[in-house]
Amino acid sequence: MPNVILHQNGQVYQQEVGENSNLVVLAGVRKFPHLKYGCGMGKCTKCMVKVISGGEKLQEPNWKESKMLGEKLDEGFRLACQLYISEDIELRQE
Ligand code: FES
C-alpha cells in the first residue's frame, strides 16, 4: 500500500492509503483529513501540493493541471484532486 507523507504548516502527517487512491476523495470521506481541497474537479487549485519525493512515478499532468498550474508544474506542484497515488509519495501543502 502506498505511504503518503504530507507536510503542512509545520506538521507532518503520514498515512498508508489504498492502491490508486485519490487524496481529495479520501479527504472528502475524512480518511485523509488534513488535506485542503475545494472543487475536487481541477478548477480551484485549493488542493495544490508540492511533490517532495516520489513524483517520478506519478502520471503525467492532465490538461486541467496544465491549465491551472502553468509554470508551477515545472516547480513540482500538482493538483491532488487529479492524482491517483499508487506509490509512496511525500507532499507539501501550505
Ligand atoms: S480541489 Fe479544486 S483544483 Fe483540486
Q: Render pLDDT for 53-69 as a digit per residue (tens, 0 to 9).
A: 999 889 999 999 999 99
- The whole-number pLDDT of residue 57 equals 86
Query: For residue 48, how far is its CA from the centre of ligand 1 (angstroms)?
Result: 7
CB 1 within 8 A of CB 89: no
57 within ligand 1 shell (Cβ under 6 A): no
- Please identify every stretch of the chain with a pLDDT value under 70, giving residue numbers as ranges: none
36 within ligand 1 shell (Cβ under 6 A): no
Backbone angles phi, psi at 55, to 5 degrees: -70, -20
DSSP structural state of residue 76 = T
Domains belonging to the chain, first-starting first, are 3-93 (3.10.20.30)
46 within ligand 1 shell (Cβ under 6 A): yes
Backbone angles phi, psi at 3, to 5 degrees: -105, 125
DSSP structural state of residue 72 = G
81 within ligand 1 shell (Cβ under 6 A): yes
CB 65 within 8 A of CB 82: yes
Burial 27-41 (b: 16+ CB within 10 A, else e): beeeebeebebeebe
**Predicted model pTM:** 0.95
